Amino acid sequence: MRILLAEDDDALAARIATALAEAGYAHERVADGVQAEFLGQTESFDAAVLDLGLPGMDGLSVLHRWREAGLALPVLILTARGRWHDKLAGFDAGADDYLTKPFQIDELILRLRALIRRAAGHASARLRCGPLELDVNAGRFLLDGGPLGLTAQEFRILAYFMHHAGRVISRSELGEHVYDNGYDPDSNVIDVLIGRIRRKLSAPLLHTVRGQGFRLAETP
């Protein structure tokens, strides 16, 4: 999962970025509203963390432009404004959730997980595909009820498949959603990692769809 982080406070952005990485999320950080508005409309993200007090273009204006353009990604607003009418303005602009500064970083991660899960159409925080289970809130995989050991990159890839189980996902889509900047679409890193994941799963859950990509499902 790839997150757009729009926050101009360097110290806070660094703390959030660290927490995102530890939670298994790729991210791209911008420090002004003009960049945020542009990236949101030109690149693929699974959610955005959007500060309202951005320079260049305030967060509400960024959000208005995204929604007017039909951009449906989940948006979690961060702001120092805690008054009800400020929150109402954020939700009216199209926000999906709202955190008032100061806040707990762990709460931000939990809210992001819930937003991404619901956007993918999952009501439960436990996603299942045959013997494989992803506990979204805990950020861990279980296979046949036991822990499944994965590297950070393997976790990102398999979590994306679990959120979109049953759908064919191309290599380019995986690259866009599970990596920070710098993914090389001509490399074979995706295939290598999927090979490793298949060996760890031991069950035939991750299928190749010739000429299209891969699909996570109990049956081919």
Residues 35 and 132 both lie in one domain: no
Based on the structure, what is the number of domains in the chain? Answer: 2
Q: What is the CATH number of the domain that holds 162?
A: 1.10.10.10
34 and 69 in a single domain? The answer is yes
Specify the residue for token string 């729009």. Answer: 6
* Residue 32 Rama label (left phi>0; alpha psi -120 to 50; beta): beta
Distance between CA atoms of 116 and 1, rounded to whole angstroms?
9
Q: What is the CATH number of the domain that holds 28?
A: 3.40.50.2300
Q: Are residues 183 and 87 in the same domain?
A: no
102 and 200 co-located in one domain: no
Q: Which domain holds residue 48?
A: 2-119
pLDDT at position 180: 72
Q: Are residues 161 and 177 in the same domain?
A: yes
pLDDT of residue 179: 78
98 and 192 both lie in a single domain: no
Q: What pLDDT, in 10s, does the model give residues 66-92?
A: 999 999 999 999 988 767 777 788 888
180 shares a domain with 138 = yes
Indicate if the pLDDT at residue 182 is higher than 60. Answer: no
> Are 30 and 64 contained in the same domain?
yes
Judge if 71 and 155 occupy the same domain: no
In a shared domain, residues 131 and 209: yes
CB within 8 Å of 188: residues ≥ 6 apart: none
11 and 112, same domain (yes or no): yes
**pLDDT single digits (tens) 120-131:** 989 889 999 999
Residue 209 and residue 168 in contact, taking contact as beta carbons nearer than 8 Å: yes
> 103, 119, 135 — which closes off a domain?
119
Last residue of one domain, picked from the residues 60, 90, 119? 119
Local confidence band at 220 (pLDDT 50, 70, 90 cut-offs): confident
- Do 133 and 172 lie in one domain? The reply is yes
From 36-40, 53-57, 91-95, 163-167, the region with the lowest mean pLDDT: 91-95
Q: Is 210 exposed, middle or buried (0-12, 13-18, 19+ CB in 10 A)?
A: exposed
> What gap in Å lies between CA 149 and CA 130, rounded to an integer?
18
- Domain end point (choices 119, 142, 177): 119
